[in-house]
Amino acid sequence: MIVRLLLFAVARDIVGCNSLEIELPGVPNIGAVRAELVRSHPRLAPLEKYLMFSVNARYAGDDQLVRADDEIACLPPASGG
């Protein structure tokens, strides 16, 4: 399955683009998206544990399953305000 992943802030700068398409086997969960993102972009490894993810604009844990049409985003720690 191919999932599209939005990237923000330092994660976007490191990867070098606003969004990525990631191919994953079976019915992937967010943990698999995270692992594949870091595997394909090793410079994200030191940040991995700080990165949060969302599915369809809601924070999502590693166990959450994703579908092909979900909007998935990788969110570094927020600094608004």
Partner 1 sequence: MVELTLEPIRPADVLTRVHSTSAGAEVLFVGTAREFTGGRRTALLHYECYEKMAIVRLQELEAEARQRWNLIGCEIVHRFGTLQPGEASVAIAVSSPHRQEAFQAAQWLIDTLKEVVPIWKQEQWSDGSSQWVHPGMPPT
Residue 28 touching partner 1 (CB under 8 A)? no
Residue 73 touching partner 1 (CB under 8 A)? yes
CB of 37 to partner 1, least distance (A): 15
The string of DSSP letters for 12-72 reads: HHHHTSSEEEEE-SSS-BHHHHHHHHHHH-GGGGGGGGG-EEEETTEEE-TT-B--TT--E
Length of the chain: 81
Identify the residue among 16, 26, 42, 81 touching partner 1 (CB under 8 A). 81
Pull the structure tokens for residue 1. 């399955």
Identify the residue among 24, 35, 47, 64 touching partner 1 (CB under 8 A). 47
CB of 27 to partner 1, least distance (A): 23
Residue 30 touching partner 1 (CB under 8 A)? no
